[in-house]
Chain A
């Protein structure tokens, strides 16, 4: 009885999220440097093959909207998975310094290996993300009481500082690189092409499916290593698989959009408070919420800084930081 009521509640909430998503998609297409009334939007969609002004705007905006949504989904799944592995609700690529790792390796790739294509960017970003994630986690586990949230966060900060020192060494001698890097470093969902969107979408779908399949294991792992082991789960093997999945997601998106922070903290946090802690539901819902947040953030960024734009990475930092502060204030020490 209670269960049934619970399910209907959950369905209502999911429906609400979907409605919000549709609204935010429409807003993302209609608003921008130039506002478009609904009839112009429809006209643009109808004439999409003709190449009129409206259709070009609509086309770029649709691409951007899709990519923003995909990136939001990917980053929030990435955050959720990282939080399972580290058992720590503040784990996020931006906090753990994984973004900086990707950044450094992409810059090194541009500077020393002359990379230009998307796949090369992704390769270098993934490599950097892996190296950093492993290093940060390893540093935070050695010592007296394992990977406490404090140590995890501090290791991330420390390693980010080092990475940015090395990055400065690489970019400082060349104005071309510093110029390229400053645009990449803020995190923006504009300027992606169709090929990139398809790659991102495929990666997202594969890892989404994997995460949903292994969601019972995620549930067990989140109860603690001891319980998971007693349920017959190979804890360390799954930890590695989950970490690999989350780093692939984050590295791919970072390679295309630059570092976008905090989505991985905000979305799972909201999803957890709406839908509870079952990962089978949590993974898809936090993906949905993450996509919505990034879409709205991107739309806000385009509207408030007209005719230019405020890059989405800046908007998410401004939304995410207060939420992180609220989480820090309201949760007890033991639970973070």
Chain B
């Protein structure tokens, strides 16, 4: 009997891995497409030549310096958004509890905007500030929601209130800003890949490589946490510690990605639920779905509109119908 269960589990696992591989191939295909098309279109052969390091006049600069960083950062940031969103949703046991709603993204935006507009800093300062303030906001929201018993309604309302406060600070900084910086800030605030460099990609890649293993190790604990506080405790999980590790690591990758691209709307919100339909509660799948959404939206935003739009605007509009569907179909048990 036990053999049978284990065997079935193995088949399931293999299926999941196969699906992930398909997603990965789709993602690479999209990235490749995004390298090919743009103001000037290049053939697949040219792109491969450039990527292999051959000198192709004209195409070399555009592909290596302009398009490649976007594709890579888009991919990695989407991955980070997708994973951290799905962890939030699973940990708080509600598909609507994404970092966007809980004010985490606003938390990192506030300090990033402050650094960009007021201090005129970029690079490491922005990362550190945005990670710290995202962590602080998460912690405050989480702790406040624990007072007099945690409920999902409570944490969402507190998150919304925090968000309103942080947004008002952002608006204030926008008023005080120089009008010439305004476009950059609005772009950044809606989530934009147009200013990223390979340097950003390196930072993002590096931090994902550190944090991803931690998250994967905690995956089993997360699965147990999903059964509820009591079950997890009886199974010997230190719920507070497990939750804190998950929360901190997912906020960190989210904040680093946000510091680079700005809060790309809804990616963390919708990747988890979409991923659940493909592979039930699989972290990697959620990340891949996030990447695909970002890269695909970037292609749309750059090529199919009269004015080039930041990627977050596209994800915001594309993600909405799905989000509304989620709200509408929410069941009592999740509320």
Contacts and interface: CB of A to CB of B under 8 A. Distances in A.
Interface of A: 90, 94-95, 139-140, 142-145, 148-151, 153-155, 157-158, 161-162, 164-166, 168-169, 171-173, 175, 178-179, 182-183, 185-186, 261-262, 310-311, 313-314, 317-318, 320-322, 324-325, 327-330, 333, 336
Contact of B265 (A144, A148, A161, A310): A161
B162 A150 contact: no
B152 A150 contact: yes
Contacts of A175: 179, 182-183
Contacts of A173: 307
B314 to A, nearest CB: 8
Given A164-B316, A182-B174, A186-B175, A144 B160 contact: no
Contacts of A320: 161, 164
A144 B313 contact: no
B153 A150 contact: yes
A318 B172 contact: no
Contacts of B96: 150, 154
A182 B316 contact: no
Interface of B: 96, 100-101, 144-145, 147-148, 151-154, 156-158, 160-165, 167-169, 171-172, 174-175, 177, 179, 182-183, 186-187, 190, 265-266, 307, 309-310, 312-313, 316-317, 320, 323-324, 327-332, 335
B179 A179 contact: yes
Given A154-B101, A158-B320, A172-B307, A143 B313 contact: no
A168 B313 contact: yes
Contacts of A148: 153, 335
Nearest to A140: B327
B153 A161 contact: no
Lowest 6 CB-CB distances: which A-B pairs, in order? Answer: A165-B316, A317-B168, A328-B157, A321-B161, A324-B161, A321-B165
A145 B145 CA distance: 23
Given A149-B153, A321-B162, A330-B148, 11 more contacts: A144-B332, A157-B100, A165-B265, A172-B313, A178-B182, A179-B179, A186-B171, A318-B165, A324-B161, A325-B157, A329-B147
Nearest to B190: A168
A186 B168 contact: yes
B323 to A, nearest CB: 5
A158 B335 contact: no
Given A145-B335, A313-B171, A333-B151, A172 B186 contact: yes
Nearest to A165: B316
A325 to B, nearest CB: 5
B169 to A, nearest CB: 7
B80 to A, nearest CB: 19
A310 B169 CA distance: 10
22 contacts: A95-B160, A148-B335, A149-B153, A153-B156, A155-B324, A161-B320, A164-B190, A165-B313, A165-B316, A169-B309, A169-B313, A172-B313, A173-B307, A182-B174, A186-B171, A311-B171, A314-B172, A317-B164, A317-B168, A324-B161, A324-B164, A328-B153
Contacts of B329: 143-144
A158 B172 contact: no
Contacts of B152: 150
Nearest to B152: A150
